[in-house]
Amino acid sequence: MPLKEIKNNIFYCGLNHRERRLFDELIPLPMGTTYNSYLIKASEKTVLVDTMYPPKSDEFLKKLENAGVDNIDYIVANHGEQDHSGTLPKLIEKFPNAIILTNPKCKEITQEMLHIADEKYQIVEDGEEISLGDKTLKFIYAPWVHWPDTMFTYVKEDNILFTCDFLGSHSPFESIFAVETPELLAGAKRYYAEIMMPFRNFCKKYVQKIREMDIDMILTSHGPIYKSPDFILNAYEKWTSDDVANEVVIPYVSMYESTKEMVDYMCEKLSDKGISVKPFNVVEEDLGDLAMELVEACTVVFGSSMVLAGPHPAAVTAAYLAGILRPKTKFISFIGSYGWGGVLTGKLEEVLSNIKAEKLEPVIIKGKPKKEDFEKLDVLIEEIYQKHKGLGLVK
Ligand code: FEO
């Protein structure tokens, strides 16, 4: 079966993985994902750009075989993580003349993980160009989106850019070109939240660089191809900017409804003040949805019951996830209820230490909330309102 042509002898040879339900054994994938690979048939050389997730190796090799691919001169490894590099050993076994084009860091990583011999690599420098005959590849180092080894590959004659993980989306597709739907935007936001958000400032820099290049088409390693790069570049400019949304996210766990009562009260009163509120039950809901909410929210209030003498483990997990994803949240606080004693906030604050947000006075109460407890919540609610007002988010 022939491969789908994207543009001028550049073909799609990736695979959907609709049934995959967890990424990194952590984040749910409601729609699955894709692993994209591309074949460039230039006048003098044939090049494969990125490879395949190991469990899909056989299907991938069969796809190439069925398409009549009987020679590969170069394999570009834009990134060493195995969902893109994992099939390198099988490829170089099947195509023994193929040389891997990559940067030193990616070589080091793929050698550590895949035990590939030195002579199989050709190092490319940042900005280096390699002629394929009627096409020219240019390599652009782009470390830290999201590993230290990441790079982009530009095809000069076609003005297209392979960005590997960067600007990707957990969005399987039939048509290989992006259809600009809310679902695609959600898949891209989920992807950004989980993979790229900790590297927000690097993302911002590379988005600007790609803007300046005035690229015709962006080809990522997850999700569809962007024929109109503005769709994804506009979204990234919003997500990576320092601007926050007039929104409070409340990830919570409540064992006997007392903490839930506090959450409900905050939701109602904050909404009355014109602030959008997103309560999020961390035991029942998808942590990927929480990650997406953290992308733009101005304030996060963690709610937890006390288990023994500390926060509920589910609250710690949610806070730890927030801590490693490093959202641009400006304000953080805590609410919760205990039965007989303990310290609720210490562990949560510890796992959130990566986030440089201002801490607002927590409200930790004993048992079911009473009148004076709601008054303490009123103080926190008013403080959040004033903080949002100070940023011009509410009138
Ligand atoms: Fe899609 Fe960093 O791997």
Per-residue pLDDT of the chain (395 residues; tens, 9 = 90+): 899 999 999 999 999 898 888 877 777 888 888 999 999 999 999 999 999 999 999 999 999 999 999 999 999 999 999 999 999 999 999 999 999 999 999 999 999 999 999 999 999 999 999 999 999 999 999 999 999 999 999 999 999 999 999 999 988 888 899 999 999 999 999 999 999 999 999 999 999 999 999 999 999 999 999 999 999 999 999 999 999 999 999 999 999 999 999 999 999 999 999 999 999 999 999 899 999 999 999 999 999 999 998 999 999 999 999 999 999 999 999 999 999 988 999 999 999 999 999 999 999 999 999 999 999 999 999 999 999 999 999 98
Give the rounded distance of the alpha carbon of 73 from its chain centre: 32
* Sequence-separated contacts (24+) of 236-242 with Cβ below 8 Å: 236/167, 236/192, 236/203, 236/204, 236/207, 237/204, 237/207, 238/296, 239/189, 239/192, 239/197, 239/200, 239/203, 239/295, 239/296, 240/200, 240/201, 240/203, 240/204, 240/207, 241/204, 242/328
Nearest one of 259, 247, 350 to 300, comparing CA atoms: 247
Measured N-to-C along each axis, helices 287-294 and 182-191 cross at an angle, to the nearest 10 degrees, of 90
Counting from 1 in the atom list of ligand 1, the atom nearest the Cα of 165 is 1
81 lines ligand 1 (CB under 6 A): yes
DSSP 8-state code for residue 240: H
Q: What atom of ligand 1 comes closest to residue 147's alpha carbon?
A: 2
16 residue type, one letter: N
Residue 77 CA to ligand 1 centre (angstroms): 12
Distance from the alpha carbon of residue 89 to the mean position of ligand 1, in angstroms:
18
**Cα angle 318-323-325, degrees, rounded to a multiple of 5:** 95
Ligand 1 atom showing the smallest separation from residue 222 Cα: 1
- Distance from the CA of 144 to the center of ligand 1, in angstroms? 12
Closest residue to atom 3 of ligand 1, CA basis: 81
Ligand 1, residue 150: give the atom nearest the CA. Answer: 2
Ligand 1 centre to CA of 70 (Å) is 27
Centroid of ligand 1 to alpha carbon of 229 (angstroms): 20
Residue 20 Cβ inside 6 Å of ligand 1? The answer reads: no
* CB-ligand 1 contact for 17 (6 Å cutoff): no
Measured by CA distance, the residue closest to atom 1 of ligand 1 is 165
Closest CA to 30 of 366, 379, 289: 289
Atom of ligand 1 nearest to the CA of 79: 2
User: Which ligand 1 atom is the nearest neighbour of the CA of 195?
Assistant: 2
What is the distance between the alpha carbons of residues 164 and 167, in angstroms, rounded to a whole number? 8
**DSSP single-letter state for residue 385:** H
Ligand 1 neighbourhood includes 84 CB (under 6 angstroms):
yes
Distance 165 CA to ligand 1 centre (A): 5
CB 165 near ligand 1, within 6 Å: yes
Vertex 378, ends 392 and 249: CA angle to 5°?
55
Instruction: Kindly give the distance from the C-alpha atom of residue 208 to the centroid of ligand 1, in angstroms, as a whole number.
Output: 21
Among protein residues, the one whose CA lies closest to atom 2 of ligand 1: 81
The ligand 1 atom at the shortest distance from the C-alpha of residue 168 is 1
**What gap in Å lies between CA 227 and CA 222, rounded to an integer?**
15
Instruction: Tell me how far the alpha carbon of residue 279 lies from the centroid of ligand 1, in angstroms.
Output: 30
- What is the CA 211 to chain-centroid distance, rounded? 20
Q: Which atom, in ligand 1's list, is nearest to the CA of 35? A: 1
Specify the pLDDT at position 342: 87
| Residue 394 and residue 384 in contact, taking contact as beta carbons nearer than 8 Å | no
Provide the angle, in degrees to the nearest 10, between the axes of the packed helices 287-294 and 313-325. 40
What pLDDT shows up at residue 23? 78
DSSP 2: P
What is the model's pLDDT at position 19? 86
The number of angstroms, rounded, from the C-alpha of 281 to the middle of its chain's C-alpha atoms is 22
List, as one string, the DSSP characters of 138-199.
EEEE-TTSSSTT-EEEEETTTTEEEEETTT--S---SSSB----HHHHHHHHHHIIIIIGGG
Q: How far is the CA of 168 from the centre of ligand 1 (A)?
A: 9
- How far does the centroid of ligand 1 lie from the alpha carbon of residue 81, in Å? 5
Closest approach atom of ligand 1 to CA 221: 1
- Separation of 211 CA from ligand 1 center, angstroms? 23
